[in-house]
Amino acid sequence: MKLEEYLNMWTKGEAEEVIEYLAASIIAEEQGLIEVAQALKTIALEEAMHGARALVLAGRIKDLREYLKHRVEAEKEAATVRHEEASHHEEPWKTVFEYTARDEERHARILEGILKKLE
d(CA 119, CA 116): 5
Rounded to 10 degrees, the C-alpha dihedral 80/45/111/58 comes to: -100
CB of 82 to Fe ion, least distance (A): 10
Whole-number Å distance between alpha carbons of 92 and 67: 34
Residue number with CB closer to Fe ion (94 or 107) = 107
CA angle 111–116–117, rounded 5-degree value: 100
Sites for Fe ion among residues 13-42 (CB under 5 A): none
Using CB under 5 A, pick the residue from 50, 69, 71, 94 that binds Fe ion: 50
> Considering only residues 21, 41, 104, 111, which one is a binding residue for Fe ion as defined by CB under 5 A?
104
Whether residue 92 is preceded by a cis peptide bond, meaning omega within 30 degrees of 0, is: yes
CB nearer to Fe ion: pick between 50 and 94: 50
Nearer to Fe ion (CB atom), residue 66 or residue 73: 73
Q: Does 69 bind Fe ion (CB under 5 A)?
A: no
Q: Footprint of Fe ion on this chain (CB under 5 A)?
A: 47, 50, 75, 104, 107
